[in-house]
Amino acid sequence: MSARPLAGLRILSAEQMISLPHATQLLSLLGADVLKVEPLSGEAGRHGRPMVVDESGTETGSTFVRNNLGKSTISLDLKSERGRDLFLDLAGQVDAVAENFRPGVAEKLGIGFEAVRLRNPSAIYVSVSGFGNRSDPPSPYRERAAYAPVVEGMAGLYEYARENDAPPRLASAGALGDTGPGLYAVIGLLSALHERARTGQGCHVDVSMYDSMIAIADVVHLASVGVDPSRATRGIGILDSFRADDGWFTLEVVREPHFPRFCAAVGHPEWEKDCRLATRSGWAEHLETVIRPGVEDWARGRTKDEASAELARHGLAAGPVNTPQDIMRDPHVLERGLVHRFEIEGRETSVDVVGSPLYFSEPTRDHDVADEGDGPPRWPGLGGQTGRVLEGWLGLSPKEIETLRKEGIVG
């Protein structure tokens, strides 16, 4: 199978920040030709902090850098009639159109699903928003703005780590409320493309960040079986973190056949015959009084990696609690080429960006994202491909493009 299975797929995306850019970046790394549409001043992610400074001295927000590898970009005034027409002309040249405006904004701009369908009936149209674009029936929250922490909290994700009446810890899972919906958008798009191969017709894929997080957090199922999410892991066995000399490691022992291995691994074979530890509920009940002291005494003199490796040698599931620096040194990460370092020439600095975590049985290509195509698929400069796209896709002359620039239609 090709390492770029989506080669030949064209996607036009009016996107900003993380949720949809994360989705289209994955599609780009899988070979799709993604054309990102931005305002003349650049999308919001370009201006977030912290900033990355490139060779020319241009500052770009790290949110943009880490979610836009390999894309082309055109800057376009969608509020102008000519800008709208150019967008629709481009929409006629692609397999899919995507947007993550608040519901109703794309329609107000004249680039919503119906407008695109008139121009390109076979195009797949993907919308990502906080609470969905459907108007029949509409969500009562349809018009609300949403960011990752909002939908994470609404979906119950923060209940897993709640301690009594302490305030929830926001963004405890990074930007999962953005990246999770982004992955559902990819699944929806690829499903619609598969269906189009049979019918020849496009459709509207509507992704709600809130829906996506309810599906991921899974508190609804827990509640239905009488489990408080904050206590979801209690009583099911040994599922916790333990201290080593240089940090922490996690360990999970939740099946009785694994308990003898665990006892042998940590040097406490007598636990096998301890009646207090005869059941999983007993392990949990005596975690703090018996098991934790024993495990952490065994781990004294070992690093978190050494402790994890020894437990793994006994067939147990364990791993270090890594810092970002640990991840960059991890032999697994280095071997699989998941993280790419972009060196900033002349500035003696670099920026690390995660590539695609998907691997295919294609032996002729290295997975390192820097080796795909003719050069590193790094993040694009603002409007960097405007001229090339308007000329190559729409047949505009250099003079026509220059006129559009002077009129403030394109950048």
Q: What are phi and psi of 310, to 5 degrees?
A: -65, -40
Counting Cα atoms < 13 Å in the Cβ hemisphere of 372 gives 23
113-114-116-118 Cα dihedral, nearest 10 degrees: 160
347 vs 360: CA distance, rounded Å:
35
Triad 7, 10, 12: Cα angle to 5°:
145
If 0-12 CB within 10 Å is exposed, 13-18 middle and 19+ buried, where does residue 251 land?
buried
User: Phi, psi at residue 172, to the nearest 5°?
Assistant: -70, -10
Q: Which residue type, as a one-letter code, is found at position 119?
A: R
Q: Indicate the angle between helix axes 386-394 and 81-91, nearest 10 degrees.
A: 60
Task: Give the full edge-to-edge strand order of the sheet including 204-208.
Answer: 72-75, 33-38, 10-14, 96-99, 124-129, 204-208
Neighbour count for residue 28 (Cβ, 10 Å): 26
- 161 and 219 Cβ atoms separated by less than 8 Å: no
Q: Tell me which residue of 205, 224, 204 sits closest to 214, measured CA to CA.
A: 224
pLDDT of residue 76: 97
Residue bearing tokens 């609470």 = 131
How confident is the model at residue 377, as a pLDDT?
76
pLDDT for res 167: 85
Buried b (16+ CB within 10 A) or exposed e, 279-291: ebebbbbebeebb
> What was the pLDDT predicted at 215?
96
> What's the predicted TM-score (pTM) here?
0.91
- Taking CA atoms, 174 is separated from 18, 171, 293, in Å, by 12, 5, 31
Q: What is the residue whose two structure tokens read 């040698």? A: 313
Cβ atoms of 113 and 105 within 8 Å: the answer is no
Residues belonging to the chain: 411
Q: How far apart are CA 17 and CA 337, in angstroms?
A: 26
Q: Which of 268-273's residues contact partners 24+ apart within 8 Å by CB, and which partners?
A: 268/294, 268/298
DSSP-derived secondary structure letter, 375:
S
Q: Which ranges constitute the DSSP H helices of 252-397?
A: 259-265, 280-285, 292-299, 304-313, 324-329, 331-336, 386-394
Ordered domains of the chain (ranges, CATH):
10-218+340-406 (3.40.50.10540), 233-321 (3.30.1540.10)
Q: Looking at residue 230, what is its pLDDT? A: 65
**Per-residue model confidence (pLDDT) at position 111:** 99
Q: In the prediction, which pLDDT does 233 show?
A: 62
Buried b / exposed e over 35-64, threshold 16 CB at 10 Å, is bbbbbbebbebbebeeebebeeeeebbbbb
For the chain, 411 residues long, the average pLDDT of each consecutive 10-residue run is 87 98 96 97 94 87 94 97 98 98 97 98 98 89 93 90 79 88 99 97 98 93 74 77 98 95 98 95 94 98 98 98 96 91 83 89 52 59 94 96 97 92
Tell me the H-state helices in 69-199: 81-91, 105-109, 113-119, 148-154, 176-199
Report the pLDDT value the prediction gives residue 376, as an integer from 0 to 100: 42
Q: What's the distance, CA 203 to chain centroid?
A: 24
